[in-house]
A and B are shown apart, each in its own frame.
Chain A
Amino acid sequence: MSKPGSAGERLFNGIIKENPTFVLTLGMCPTLAVTTSAMNGLGMGLTTMVVLALSNMIISALRKIIPDKVRIPAFIVIIASFVTVMQLLLQGFLPDLYLSLGVYIPLIVVNCIILGRAEAYASKNSVWSSLFDGIGMGLGFSAALTCIGAVREILGAGEIFGIRVMPQSYVPFSIFVMAPGAFFVLAALTAIQNKVKIAGEKKGRDMSKIQSGCSEDCMHCGKAGSCEHKFYDTAKTQKEGR
C-alpha cells in the first residue's frame, strides 16, 4: 500500500476500505430517498462528491485560520456555499436531474459524510490529501448509490439506466421503486454487513470499523469518527455560555 495521505491511498480508503455507505453507514437519508433509479443515484453521488472534494479542500486550506470554537458553524457555511453553487449549476445545466432530486440537493448540507470528513480528516490534514480524501469518499458514495439504485431499478422496473435488461415476461415488483422498497433494500444490505462482520469476528479480525446503521443517533455514532459534532459543539458552547 502506498504511504498514508497520498492520492492513491486516499482514493482506495474512500472507495473500498471506509466506504461511507457499505462500511460506515453514513448519510442514510439521501441513500434511501434518491436511489429510485441508477441514474438518480449516480447524479446524487457525483453532486455530493463535488461538494465533498471542494469543501474538504477549502476547509483544509483554512484549518489554521478558523478558530476552534466556531469551527462547526464555519464548516457549515463553507459546505452550504458549495451546495448552493452545485444547486444553481444543476438547475442551469441538468434541469431533469435537478427536478428528480428536488429538495435532496440542498439537503446535502446536512449529510453526515461531509461534515464528518471535514471534522475527522480535512481539519487535520494537508490540502492535497484532503482533496483526494473527498474525491475518494465521494466516489465510494457514488458507487454505493449507483449499486443500490441499479438493484432497485432492475427489481422495480426491469431496467437499468433506463435500458430494459429483464425479459419481456418479467413482471416488475413496482414496490421496489416506491418508498417501502428502499427500506427493504437497506435492510438486506445491513443484514449482509452484519453477516460479514460476524464471520470476520469469528476469524478474529478487527471488524469495529463496520457500523451497522447508526445504532444510536447520528450524534452518537462518533465511533465512525464522523458526525459526533453537528452544527455547533453543544458541550463546548454550554461550557462557554454559562
Chain B
Amino acid sequence: MLAQVKDLLLLMIGAALVSNVVLSQFLGLCPFLGVSKKVETAAGMGMAVIFVITLASGVAGVVYRCILEPLHIEYLQTIVFILVIAALVQFVEMFLKKYMKALYEALGVYLPLITTNCAVLGVALLNVQKGYGIFKGMVYGFATAVGFTVAIVILAGIREKMEHNDILESFRGMPIVLLTAGLMAIAFCGFSGLL
C-alpha cells in the first residue's frame, strides 16, 4: 500500500515538474503562449485544463480498456480518442451550463479553447503508450495538467512584470515570450535532480 502511494507520488512529481508538459514535451503550446497575458486568466485556463485533462484521460482510459482492447482494434486509438475528447468537452460545457452555473462562469470561456489543446490528446495517448491503467492514467493526467497550470501562471506573472520594460523592437511580442519560456525550461531542467 505504502509502496503504491510512493509510486503514485513519484509519478505525479515526474509528470508535473520534471518532464513538464509544456516546457519539456511541448504539448499545449498554443494556450501557453496565447492565454498568458494576465495571471488571472492564466489561472482560469489552468483550472479548466486540469478539469478537462483529468476527465478526458479517465474516459479515454475506459474506452481503451473496455472497448478497443477486447475487440483488438487498438490501432484505432487516435481516431477514437479525438472524437471522444471533442464530444466530452462539448458535453461538459453543456452540463456545466445547465447545472453548475458558477463553475461554468469561471471556466466556460476556456472550455472551447481546450479542445484545440494537443495536451489533452497527448496525455490520452501517452497513458496508452506507458501502459497506465485507468486510475493511474487519471493521476498522470491530473499531475500533467497541474504542471501546465504551474508553468502558465509563472509565465503570466513574468509577462505582467515585463509589460512596461523597454524591449528591442523586433523582440517585442512573441520572441521575448519564447525567450522567457526557454529560460523557464532551463530552470525546470533543475527538477530532474528530484527523482
A interface with B by C-beta (< 8 Å): 28-29, 32-33, 73, 76-77, 80-81, 83-84, 87-88, 102-103, 106-107, 109-110, 112, 175, 178-184, 186-188, 190-192, 194-195, 198, 212-220, 227, 230-232, 234, 237, 241
Query: Contacting B31 at CB < 8 Å: which of A102, A198, A213, A217?
Result: A217
Point out the residues of chain B lying under 8 angstroms from A87, CB to CB: 75, 78
Write the nearest CB–CB distance from A86 to chain B, whole angstroms: 10
**B121 contacts partner chain A, Cβ-Cβ < 8 Å:** yes
A28 to B30, CA, bound (A): 8
Q: Is A212 touching B129 in the complex (CB atoms < 8 A)?
A: no
Contacts of A234 in B (CB 8 A): 112
Cβ 8 A contact of A231, one of B24, B86, B173:
B86
Closest to A78 in B: B79
Q: Does B82 contact A (CB under 8 A)?
A: yes
* CB-based contact B175/A190 at 8 Å: yes
One of B78, B183, B186 near A84 (C-beta < 8 A): B78
Smallest Cβ-Cβ distance to A179: which chain B residue: B24
A160 CB to nearest B CB, Å:
22
Given A106-B78, A195-B170, A214-B30: A190 touches B24 (CB 8 Å cut-off): no
Enumerate chain A residues within 8 angstroms of B100, measured Cβ to Cβ: none
Q: How far does the Cβ of A83 sit from chain B's closest Cβ, in whole Å?
A: 6
CB distance from B99 to the nearest CB of A (A): 15
In contact, B29 and A109 (Cβ under 8 angstroms): no
Inter-subunit contact A230/B116 (CB<8 Å): yes
Q: How large is the interface on B (under 10, 10 to 19, 20 to 34, 35 or more residues)?
A: 35 or more
Chain B hits for A186, CB < 8 A: 178
Chain A residues with CB under 8 A of B129:
102-103
Given A32-B29, A87-B78, A194-B170, the answer on whether A183 and B181 have CB atoms closer than 8 Å is: yes
Task: Please measure, in the bound complex, the distance between the C-alpha atom of A237 and the C-alpha atom of B91, giving whole angstroms.
Answer: 12
Q: Is B101 an interface position by the 8 A CB rule? A: no
Given contacts A191-B171, A230-B116, contact A28 B189 (CB under 8 A): no
Chain A residues with CB under 8 A of B185: 179-180, 183
| B1 located at the interface, meaning its Cβ lies under 8 Å from any Cβ of chain A in the complex | no
In the complex, A126→B141 CA distance in Å?
42
Residues of B within 8 A of A180 (CB): 182-183, 185-186, 189
Out of B75, B86, B118, B181, name the residue touching A73 (CB < 8 Å). B86
**A residues in contact with B77, CB < 8 Å:** 106
Question: Would A29 and B29 count as touching, CB distance under 8 A?
Answer: yes
Q: How far is the CB of B64 from chain A (nearest CB, A)?
A: 13
Q: Which of A33, A175, A187 gathers the greatest number of chain B CB atoms within 10 Å?
A: A187
4 shortest interchain CB distances as A-B pairs:
A183-B182, A213-B174, A187-B178, A217-B34
Residues of A within 8 A of B63 (CB): none
**What distance in Å separates the Cβ of A26 from its nearest Cβ neighbour in chain B?**
10
Which residues of B from 117 to 133 have beta carbons under 8 Å from A?
A: 118, 121-122, 125-126, 129
B185 to chain A, nearest CB (A): 4
A186 to B173, alpha carbons, bound, how many Å?
13
Find chain B residues with CB under 8 A from A102 CB: 129
Rounded to whole angstroms, the CA-CA distance of A212 and B171 in the bound complex is: 11
Asked if B179 contacts A184 (CB within 8 A), the reply is: yes
* In the bound complex, CA of A190 to CA of B34 (Å): 15
Smallest beta-carbon distance B188→chain A, Å? 8
Q: Are A198 and B122 in contact (CB under 8 A)?
A: no
Residue in contact with B34 in the complex, picked from A29, A73, A220, CB distance below 8 Å: A220
Given contacts A191-B171, A219-B113, contact A29 B26 (CB under 8 A): yes
Question: Taking A198-B169, A231-B86 as contacts, is the C-beta distance between A214 and B33 under 8 angstroms?
Answer: yes
The interface residues of chain B lying within 8 Å CB-to-CB of A187 are 171, 174-176, 178-179, 182
Q: Is the CB of A80 within 8 A of B173?
A: no
Contact present for B116 and A218 (CB under 8 Å): yes
Does B144 lie at the interface of the complex (its beta carbon under 8 Å from any beta carbon of A)?
no
By a CB distance below 8 angstroms, the chain B residues around A84 are 75-76, 78-79
Which residues from A are CB-within-8-Å of B83? 73, 76-77
